[in-house]
Structure 1
């Protein structure tokens, strides 16, 4: 299966950074390789259920405010960069996985490893097993370059400002899969229960979003994935906050059409960016270093 993506992700950097912020959208990719569609047992619309649909478009104006934006072009169903590099389900592949593969994580058990086995409602993606080499190729050609670039951008920002804040942006279904689940908040902020960024950043984002009229929850049902956990190191000046946006407030979840409120949310995300940019980052950095 050839990987027909060039470039595999987009990076938009400002001419000059006005604040130590990087916005990231790892799950909004919607370029589906033809060979992937041919190997799938699902129709294209079903595959799209796993997308953080249009989050990259919601962030389109952020770079103009002096912050960088990174977004994947490949879909989450094809490769998930918000996982460890080798979270792989041996049931998906012909051949033996490398000994270093993590085959026992909860995410693998749920069918949502680095190469997903299922999309929403546990629909199996593939009609047949994949060659192990196909998994390794996607990791080498897409996953690793993505994370190299993410590390480079964060390192560059940290060198310039002495601190860096990664805002990892996602979207979520309006309701959980269980019938008894209540409708979710408009936005869920995840900071790994206070371990991936200063609580002052989470408090600031929470207050800003509420003042714009959104209902906000923290860490439930989403506390942050691999990116939040892996890159968040407040004591070293690397802060990461995950933002999950309820899809029902900006799109039709059934036919993927944009809702009238899309433009308002897009503007409000630049307001959030400006609010975060006004934080006393050097104080946050000094605060955490002193705490250690």
Structure 2
């Protein structure tokens, strides 16, 4: 069983690498104590995990590390986003709360009930969310201290067809969607990412998903922290909704590695 202290991993890279590959949604693990607070039966929960998990993204990141000339750092969530979603915020005002997908989800991808009415999110926030956020903040701070800059590259995936929880699912769904932030994503960073994934049939920007992850300590405040989200359409590399990876995984890993090396100046 996972405790808060081991529900995520920071895997070290090269001392002079500014890059952190962030993999927040790849795990299907739900500790039994958390499972007890979910109303879905086992079959329904497995299906929901198929839809909600960014399957094999941890494998993409791991293969990219092996292929990169300068080893990036990796921050990997070891529990499912059905435990907590580290990329939401406990007091967030954003629209995902409207579909029951704040820091602790109350609804599924199909807008069905995930947790009972009135479930208290605070124990999960304290046990899982806050330690994760603090560790990620520290990881970014360490890269700033070591290299003078930090680059957070978020690795996600999304389904070929929109799911009911998506509030902007009517937009383009390119093979690779690049999520940006006006403050933390420079034109140079975006151009490097577009070049790295040029061979995958096209990239798009901020559709169907937008934004990046930056710890709140730095968000909108420190220009030394850069960030980009990579959203990979799942049919590019796996069998949907939750099946095995295919040959596209290795090619995507090479693309990520190319981006890492470009950001590392090699």
TM-score (norm 2): 0.85
What SS does structure 2 have at the residue aligned with 1:217? strand
1:163 to 149, 165, 169: 149
Q: Distance in 2 between matches of 1:265 and 1:207?
A: 13
What SS does structure 2 have at the residue aligned with 1:145? helix
Q: Distance in 2 between matches of 1:232 and 1:189?
A: 18
Match of 1:129 in 2: 117
Q: Which runs of 5+ in 1 are unaligned?
A: 88-103, 280-292
**Does the aligned pair in 1 maintain the 2:196–2:259 contact within 8 Å?**
yes
CA deviation string 1:15-68 (max 9, x = no partner): x33431111011112212224334332423222111111211110134454210
Match of 1:23 in 2: 21
Q: Which runs of 5+ in 2 are unaligned?
A: none
Cα drift, residue 141 of structure 1: 1.5
RMSD: 2.5
Cα drift, residue 232 of structure 1: 4.5
Q: Distance in 2 between matches of 1:54 and 1:6?
A: 23
User: Does the C-alpha gap of structure 1 residues 3 and 138 become closer, same or farther in structure 2, counting only changes over 3 Å?
Assistant: farther
Matched, 1:262 2:261: no
Alignment of 1:83-232 (within 5 A): 83-87=88-92, 105-126=94-115, 128-129=116-117, 131-132=119-120, 135-177=121-163, 181=170, 184-192=173-181, 194-210=182-198, 212-224=199-211, 227-228=213-214, 230=216, 231-232=218-219
Cα drift, residue 82 of structure 1: 0.6
User: Does the C-alpha gap of structure 1 residues 228 and 173 become closer, same or farther in structure 2, counting only changes over 3 Å?
Assistant: farther
Q: Distance in 2 between matches of 1:115 and 1:208?
A: 34
Q: Distance in 2 between matches of 1:232 and 1:278?
A: 24
CA deviation string 1:125-152 (max 9, x = no partner): 13x33542xx212111111111111111
User: Does the C-alpha gap of structure 1 residues 273 and 255 become closer, same or farther in structure 2, counting only changes over 3 Å?
Assistant: same
Count of residues paired in the alignment: 254
**Does the aligned pair in 2 maintain the 1:196–1:229 contact within 8 Å?**
no
Whichever of the two has the greater Rg, that structure is 1
**Does the aligned pair in 1 maintain the 2:9–2:77 contact within 8 Å?**
yes
Match of 1:69 in 2: 74
TM-score (norm 1): 0.78
Q: Distance in 2 between matches of 1:108 and 1:18?
A: 39
